[in-house]
Amino acid sequence: MFKQVKQNKVYQDVVEQIQEAIMEGSLKPGSQLPAERELKEQFGISRGTLREALRVLEQKGLIEIRTGVAGGSIIREANSEQLSENLGLLLRNRTVSLGDLADFREGIEGAVAALAARRAGDRDRELLQGLLGEARLHLEEGIAGWDPFIRTDEKLHLALARISANQLFIAVLESVYLNIHTYYEKFLPQGEEIMQENYDDLKNIVGAVVIGDGVSARELAQGHVGRFNAYMEKKSSS
Q: How far is CA 5 from the centre of its chain?
A: 33
Residue 181 inside a domain? The answer is: yes
pTM: 0.69
Q: Could you give the CA distance from residue 147 to residue 185 in angstroms, rounded to a whole number?
A: 10
Whether residues 115 and 190 fall in one domain: yes
Q: Could you give the CA distance from residue 70 to residue 31 in angstroms, rounded to a whole number?
A: 13
Residue 64 sits at φ, ψ, to 5 deg, of -125, 125
**C-alpha distance from residue 3 to each of 8, 17, 27 (Å):** 15, 8, 15
Residue 123: per-residue pLDDT: 97
Residue 81: per-residue pLDDT: 62
Range of the domain at 13: 7-75
Instruction: For residue 49, give the 3-state DSSP assignment.
Output: helix
Whether residues 45 and 67 fall in one domain: yes
Residue 93: per-residue pLDDT: 80
**Angle made by CA atoms 136, 141, 142, in degrees to the nearest 5:** 100
Q: Could you give the CA distance from residue 31 to residue 202 in angstroms, rounded to a whole number?
A: 47
Residue 40: per-residue pLDDT: 93
We report the CATH number of the domain holding residue 164 as: 1.20.120.530
Whether residues 140 and 59 fall in one domain: no
Residue 132: per-residue pLDDT: 97
Whether residues 86 and 116 fall in one domain: yes
**C-alpha distance from residue 117 to each of 124, 169, 207 (Å):** 10, 15, 9
CB atoms within 10 A of CB 28: 10
DSSP string covering 76-135: PPP-SHHHHHHHHHHHHTT-S-HHHHHHHHHHHHHHHHHHHHHH--HHHHHHHHHHHHHH
Q: Could you give the CA distance from residue 196 to residue 134 in angstroms, rounded to a whole number?
A: 13
Whether residues 111 and 70 fall in one domain: no
Of the three residues 48, 75, 102, the one that is the final residue of a domain is 75
Structural domain tally of the chain? 2
Whether residues 56 and 36 fall in one domain: yes
CB 228 within 8 A of CB 180: no
Residues of the chain with pLDDT under 50: none
Of the three residues 75, 104, 120, the one that is the final residue of a domain is 75
Q: Could you give the CA distance from residue 97 to residue 79 in angstroms, rounded to a whole number?
A: 26
Residue 40 inside a domain? The answer is: yes
Amino acid (one-letter) located at 74: I
* H or E segment and range at residue 65: strand 63-66
Whether residues 87 and 205 fall in one domain: yes
Residue 64's DSSP bridge partners are 74
Residue 23: per-residue pLDDT: 78
Q: Tens digits of per-residue pLDDT, 144-154?
A: 999 999 999 99
Residue 83: per-residue pLDDT: 63
Whether residues 176 and 71 fall in one domain: no
Residue 75's DSSP bridge partners are 63
